[in-house]
């Protein structure tokens, strides 16, 4: 029996592939949501290739933390919110949940607004109506998970991820980036306060707190037998590592591709500080077909990411407060703020960028506990993070906190 368990996941091509196409692809959707589109397009249009290094660094950090989150769920059989809920006092749990819920709400806002913009670009649907359609469609996606299980849900999300990738990268075929500009963008630097503000938004859009909370839940649910034998656990951890690398490489390529497309196509063009303006410029310079493909990618991004965001919010609430609310009920309630904002005429692209800045401030609250748990021999046993991984995590957390502190200083001193 043990030999069968050892051979099944990694020696058989089908089993290996099946393991790879799992939880990390669901988590990766959070890294290509409409908030990324707004932040990356604005960055490329405003500063060219200047902030390519931010996306590269953020994606490397994302690989690191998503692997740690998934490994925590696989090794312990508990999600990150469940671990925190078991360690905090009642008051601390409620306060922690409040900030995590704020992050989840900011995430949901970005995703619904992005999907509504896509429907407007494709069919001229009014933004509030588009937001409602996106909410209803996300309920349909969530019902797949409720009725058919996580694996069917993962399959749909992977298909949407492919559509997103095509939608956001197709324009690079007609407008390839300048190689010298890309190389120059790998050198860490800023260009004024606005570039710092955008960098914080890009970081918040790329390293997603709700994805950190959720991935541990997805991994433990997908591999309930991971701890059946030590050999099986090592196999699942290895497969999880590959899963994260492949999924986040794809998400990172999409993010960087969006910035490169904006830098090569939208630089110096007025009005490209909004998604609608960027889309109009793409249509003008690359043709209506690329414009439609881009809008379809944006719609797929909104639909997929808002479903994943609702799942993450439910995971956070259940783990910290021990309150289980049906996903459909949560989806309906969390849809209300986005519909209100769209109805009162708030600029949707600005709302997207601000939501990503809110996310960036939630990152340390997810990363620091994750780092402590995965570094603990008491929690992880022999699978605790090694020295190199612990040091890399500390550097990542330090960089994120430093960037957010700089952003606060610029904001409150009137420089941003």
- Render pLDDT for 202-220 as a digit per residue (tens, 0 to 9): 876 677 888 999 999 999 9
Domains belonging to the chain, first-starting first, are 2-412 (1.20.1740.10)
CB atoms within 10 A of CB 286: 20
> How many residues are present in the chain?
416
Q: Where are the beta strands (DSSP E) in 160-239?
A: none
- Alpha helices (H) along 48-89: 52-76, 80-87
With a cut of 90, say whether residue 201 has pLDDT above it: no
pLDDT digit string (tens) for 83-109?
999 999 999 999 999 999 888 888 888
Cα–Cα distances in Å, from 192 out to 181, 201, 202, 414?
19, 15, 16, 13
% pLDDT > 70, the chain = 92
Instruction: Say if residue 56's pLDDT is above 90.
Output: yes
Measure the CA–CA gap between 300 and 115, rounded to whole angstroms. 8
Best CA proximity match to 108, nearest among 69, 151, 140, 138: 138
Secondary structure (3-state) at 184: helix
Alpha-carbon distances of 347 from 21, 354, 398, 407, rounded to whole Å = 37, 11, 33, 22
Please state, for a pLDDT cut of 90, what percent of the chain lies above it: 50
The Cα-based distances of 179 to 131, 248, 283 in angstroms read 38, 23, 24
Helix, strand, coil content of the chain in percent (nearest 5) = 85, 0, 15
- Are 312 and 107 spatial neighbours (Cβ–Cβ below 8 Å)? yes
Residue 78: both structure tokens together: 């508990």
Closest CA to 154 of 88, 241, 243, 236: 243
Query: Does residue 175 contact residue 261 with C-beta atoms inside 8 Å?
Result: yes
Residue 22 CB neighbour total at 10 angstroms: 23
Supply the pLDDT for residue 146. Answer: 72
Where would I find the H helices in 327-386? 327-344, 348-374, 377-380
pLDDT at 374 over 50: yes
Q: Is residue 8 very low, low, confident or very high in pLDDT (cuts 50, 70, 90)?
A: very low
SS3 226: coil
């Amino acid at each position: 029996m043990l030999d069968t368990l050892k051979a099944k996941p990694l020696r058989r091509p089908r089993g290996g592939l099946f393991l790879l196409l799992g939880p990390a692809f669901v988590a990766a959707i959070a890294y290509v949501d409409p908030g990324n589109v707004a932040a990356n397009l604005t960055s490329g249009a405003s500063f060219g290739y200047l902030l390519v290094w931010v996306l590269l660094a953020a994606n490397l950090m994302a690989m690191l933390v998503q692997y740690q989150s998934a490994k925590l769920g696989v090794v312990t059989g508990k999600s990150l919110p469940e671990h925190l809920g078991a360690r905090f006092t009642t008051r601390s749990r409620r306060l922690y949940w409040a900030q995590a819920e704020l992050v989840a709400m900011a995430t949901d806002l970005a995703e619904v607004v992005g999907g509504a913009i896509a429907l407007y670009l494709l069919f001229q649907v009014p933004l509030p109506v588009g937001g409602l359609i996106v909410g209803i469609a996300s309920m349909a996606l969530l019902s797949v998970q409720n009725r058919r299980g996580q694996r069917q849900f993962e399959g749909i999300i992977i298909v949407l991820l492919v559509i997103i990738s095509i939608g956001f990268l197709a324009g690079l075929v007609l407008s390839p980036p300048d190689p010298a500009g890309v190389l120059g963008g790998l050198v860490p630097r800023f260009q004024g306060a606005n570039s710092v503000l955008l960098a914080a938004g890009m970081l918040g859009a790329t390293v997603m707190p709700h994805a950190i909370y959720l991935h541990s839940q997805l991994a433990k649910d997908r591999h309930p037998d991971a701890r059946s034998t030590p050999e099986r656990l090592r196999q699942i951890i290895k497969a999880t590592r590959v899963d994260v690398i492949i999924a986040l490489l794809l998400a990172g390529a999409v993010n960087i591709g969006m910035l490169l497309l904006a830098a090569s196509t939208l630089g110096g063009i007025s009005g490209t500080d909004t998604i609608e303006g960027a889309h109009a410029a793409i249509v003008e310079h690359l043709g209506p077909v690329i414009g439609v493909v881009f809008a379809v990618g944006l719609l797929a991004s909104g639909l997929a990411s808002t479903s994943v965001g609702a799942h993450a919010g439910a995971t956070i609430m259940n783990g910290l407060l021990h309150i289980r609310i049906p996903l459909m009920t949560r989806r309906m309630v969390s849809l209300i703020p986005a519909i209100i904002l769209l109805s009162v005429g708030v600029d949707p692209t600005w709302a997207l960028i601000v939501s990503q800045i809110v996310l960036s401030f939630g990152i340390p609250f997810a990363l620091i506990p994750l780092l402590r748990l995965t570094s603990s021999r008491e929690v992880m046993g022999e699978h605790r993070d090694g020295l190199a991984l612990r040091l890399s995590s500390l550097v990542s957390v330090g960089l994120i906190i430093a960037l957010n502190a700089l952003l606060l200083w610029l904001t409150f001193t009137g420089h941003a």
